[in-house]
Structure 1
Amino acid sequence: MKVCYIITTTTNCGPVNVVYNMLTEYRKFNVIPTIITLKPDDSQKSRQKDFEKLGVRIKHFFDLKTQKKDILDFIEKEKFDVVHSHGLVPDYVNSYLEKKEKVKIFHITTLHNYPFDDYVKSKGFLFGNVMAVLQLTAVKNLYKVACSKSICSDFNRIGIKTDVIQNGIIFPDKLVKQKKNNQKPTFLYLGRIHKRKNVEFLVKYFQFHPEYDFWIVGDGAEYENIKEQCASTANITVFGKTETPNEFYQKADYYISASTSEGLPLSVLEAMSSGLPCILSDINPHKEVMSPDKGVIFKNNDIDDLDEAIKKVINSGFDATKIFEETKSKFDTEVMMSKYVDLYKKQEKHI
């Protein structure tokens, strides 16, 4: 089965990482993948070489004047069975292909966020709502798959039906345990540092709790602001972006997130794959990946409730192996890819 994946770039970000995770399994399912990108990468964050190591062909279409027509010609020449887009601009291209193609094929998009929540929080009320409307227009004629049950429910509320295939991550064969020499309980946040991730709320908490260490790993629009706030706080360390996230997951004692918006949080799943108990804000995507055996949910932006959640996690004695095994059974990338391939085959028969 020949599948074309359209993404904006191969720059490291959530949707690109989901596509990468999917394609680590493509040979098991007899998929022949090609990736199309629409813009040049950020050279500091490119994952192109990672895809190439998997043996995945990548085609670039950067000329805006002829981009859509060139892609249409390429799709028809290659005779793909499926075109699968991820993101706003790729969805517009996919929708164009669906309208213009001579031979009907299966066109699908993965919805990685709820645009009226995510875009409004990240881009502001006016521009965010404009982007959200554009997103809905782009996916109108595409087969829609939400990356989480939470995102599916959000779309259902506005009358848009979607299927659900939850994001998956790459798990090791067994839990990798590393001896921890932390003098104090060490809490980790790893991911993008944007306002909707609400890292500042966590900083304010840990500034008044020197009995804990707090590690912040990542970059983003709020990075410099967070770094400045933490400059004189001995128990908070801001590491910046890392190419070796597993080192932090394996050395920390707990994972923590106060995010106000997610699709399905890959960093939380990665933390669980290292056996870390999690303290997560009470948004639906967090609740979707959580269970009583894996950590505690707290009321977001409530300092007292966060404090109670942290004390509960420290005193509960969670089983790292159980966290690993329970998460792997539901969110392994092979599970995700098998569901997509089943969907490709099922829908292809109806075209």
Structure 2
Amino acid sequence: MRIVHIITRSTLGGAQSVVINLANQQSTDNEVFVISGSDGNAWEALHPNVCIIKIKQLKRAISLLDFIVIFKLLYYRFHLKPDIIHLHSSKIGILGRLCFPKRKIVYTVHGFDTIRIANKSFLWLEKLLKKRAAQIVAVSRYDFENLKKEHIQKNICYIYNGIEDNTLQTEGISAPIAQKIQNLKKQYDKLILCIARTEPPKRLDLFLDIAEQLPNFAFIWIGNTSDIQCKHSSNTYFLGSVINASLYIRYSDLFILPSNFEGLPISIIEALSYSKPVIASNVGGIKELLSTGAGFTVQNSSQAFKETILQLTTNPQLYSQLSTQARCTFLADFTVKKMADTYKQLYQKIYKRNNGRCANF
């Protein structure tokens, strides 16, 4: 089977991690292609069997260059003749549904609130194109229900994101970065970690406010692509865009994620896999990740984060309980195998419907 994943950006992020995990799993028995913009290095983690195609005109912002993108997508439609076209992200979800046959399209919505609330002006396009896919996939029950509320109801389901269990992996850890984090761990009472881009919907401002109120804790942010220009306290550290960022979760005590909108954050799933309690904004599907008692969701205020951090770090029994539950939650619901198997069943159903026979996965 020939599978084509298409996503707007190739910078490190949650949706890109889903593409990497799916493509790597699928590449053992299928021809797999990943088409994206050329703005990042996320695809360094792809298996050599996966063919990477970069469209330099494909950017996040709406542009006249999108007409070139459309022509290139049409070219790959007829040149590659894919069996499954899997679209990721809202922009390519629109362009891809215009260019490829709907009966072959799987469109994963990586956080519907970014359209429903943050970019309402594009909601009409989602509604207009709602029938231009064999399946629309939400990444949480929260998004699934909100899609239905917006009358996007046909051929929709939800599939939780999943990741590889890399907790025993040490290959890929940068010695200088690891040493820096371990030195900070010795200097401070606790080490609080966040892995995210420093752009909306992530709340860098809130992260800085929380750090300022807890000067005895080190606050580390991994994922900034440039130097942070705004003023921040001396206990705040930015390590930049780091390959295999999740490998450094092992050195942290807590994982936090302040954000305005989320789908089902990969970074939180990674923290759960390392048995790290999580404190995150009560948005999107985060509550579903933490509903088993693996962490807390809080309102977007520095006081709420501060109080919950102190509650966890001053109660060893509670901390141990959440740590154990974090790992159990990951193993039960958020492994890459569970995600890949569910998508495999979906692909097979679509392929069989289109070809009258079962695919060889």
TM class by smaller structure: 0.7 to 0.9
CA–CA distance in structure 1, aligned partners of residues 145 and 343 of structure 2: 19
CA–CA distance in structure 2, aligned partners of residues 67 and 238 of structure 1: 34
SS of 1:194 mapped into structure 2? coil
Deviation of 1:163 after TM superposition, in Å, equals 0.8
CA–CA distance in structure 2, aligned partners of residues 323 and 32 of structure 1: 35
Please list, as runs of the form range in 1=range in 2, the aligned pairs for 1:219-234 lying within 5 A after superposition: 219=224, 224-225=228-229, 228-230=230-232, 233-234=233-234
Q: In 2 relative to 1, CA 92–195 (structure 1 residues): closer, same or farther, beyond 3 Å?
A: closer
Map of 1:340 onto structure 2:
343
Deviations 1:35-61 (A, max 9, x none): 233x4x12xx3234433x431112345
Q: Check conservation: 1:264, 1:285, Cα contact below 8 A.
A: yes
Greater mean deviation of Cα atoms: 18-27 or 240-249: 240-249
Please list, as runs of the form range in 1=range in 2, the aligned pairs for 1:195-210 lying within 5 A after superposition: 195-210=200-215
CA–CA distance in structure 2, aligned partners of residues 264 and 274 of structure 1: 17
Q: Does 1:81 align with 2:86?
A: no
Deviation of 1:166 after TM superposition, in Å, equals 1.1
* Matching residue's letter, 2:228: E
Q: Does 1:90 align with 2:92?
A: yes
* Matching residue's letter, 1:189: C
CA–CA distance in structure 2, aligned partners of residues 25 and 46 of structure 1: 19
Deviation of 1:182 after TM superposition, in Å, equals 5.8
Q: In 2 relative to 1, CA 248–61 (structure 1 residues): closer, same or farther, beyond 3 Å?
A: closer
* Matching residue's letter, 2:222: V
CA–CA distance in structure 1, aligned partners of residues 192 and 143 of structure 2: 28
* Matching residue's letter, 2:128: T
Deviation of 1:69 after TM superposition, in Å, equals 4.8
CA–CA distance in structure 2, aligned partners of residues 118 and 141 of structure 1: 17
Q: Check conservation: 1:114, 1:151, Cα contact below 8 A.
A: yes
Q: Check conservation: 1:88, 1:138, Cα contact below 8 A.
A: no
Q: Check conservation: 2:13, 2:196, Cα contact below 8 A.
A: no
Map of 1:260 onto structure 2:
260
* Matching residue's letter, 2:204: V
The count of aligned residue pairs is 327
Deviation of 1:174 after TM superposition, in Å, equals 5.1
CA–CA distance in structure 2, aligned partners of residues 139 and 33 of structure 1: 26
Please list, as runs of the form range in 1=range in 2, the aligned pairs for 1:1-351 lying within 5 A after superposition: 1-27=1-27, 30-37=29-36, 39=37, 41-42=38-39, 45-51=40-46, 53-60=47-54, 67-98=69-100, 105-115=103-113, 117=114, 121=118, 128-142=119-133, 143-161=135-153, 162-172=156-166, 181=186, 183-219=188-224, 224-225=228-229, 228-230=230-232, 233-301=233-301, 303=303, 305-314=304-313, 315=315, 316-318=318-320, 320=323, 322-351=325-354
* Matching residue's letter, 1:268: I
Please, what is the CA RMSD of the aligned residues? 2.9
Map of 2:174 onto structure 1:
none
Unaligned residue ranges in structure 2 (runs of 5+): 58-64, 171-177, 355-361
CA–CA distance in structure 1, aligned partners of residues 130 and 272 of structure 2: 32
Q: Check conservation: 1:91, 1:138, Cα contact below 8 A.
A: no
CA–CA distance in structure 2, aligned partners of residues 71 and 307 of structure 1: 47
Aligned-residue identity in percent? 22
Q: Check conservation: 1:10, 1:48, Cα contact below 8 A.
A: yes
TM-score, normalising length: structure 1: 0.81
Q: Check conservation: 2:209, 2:302, Cα contact below 8 A.
A: no
SS of 2:353 mapped into structure 1? coil
SS of 2:17 mapped into structure 1? helix
SS of 2:285 mapped into structure 1? helix
CA–CA distance in structure 2, aligned partners of residues 212 and 81 of structure 1: 51
Q: Check conservation: 1:118, 1:261, Cα contact below 8 A.
A: no
Deviation of 1:202 after TM superposition, in Å, equals 3.0
Deviation of 1:15 after TM superposition, in Å, equals 2.0
Q: In 2 relative to 1, CA 94–292 (structure 1 residues): closer, same or farther, beyond 3 Å?
A: closer
Q: In 2 relative to 1, CA 241–27 (structure 1 residues): closer, same or farther, beyond 3 Å?
A: closer
CA–CA distance in structure 1, aligned partners of residues 319 and 293 of structure 2: 10
TM-score, normalising length: structure 2: 0.79
Unaligned residue ranges in structure 1 (runs of 5+): 122-127
CA–CA distance in structure 2, aligned partners of residues 70 and 310 of structure 1: 49
Deviation of 1:340 after TM superposition, in Å, equals 0.8
Deviations 1:132-178 (A, max 9, x none): 333443444112111222211221111212211111122127598x9
Q: In 2 relative to 1, CA 197–349 (structure 1 residues): closer, same or farther, beyond 3 Å?
A: same
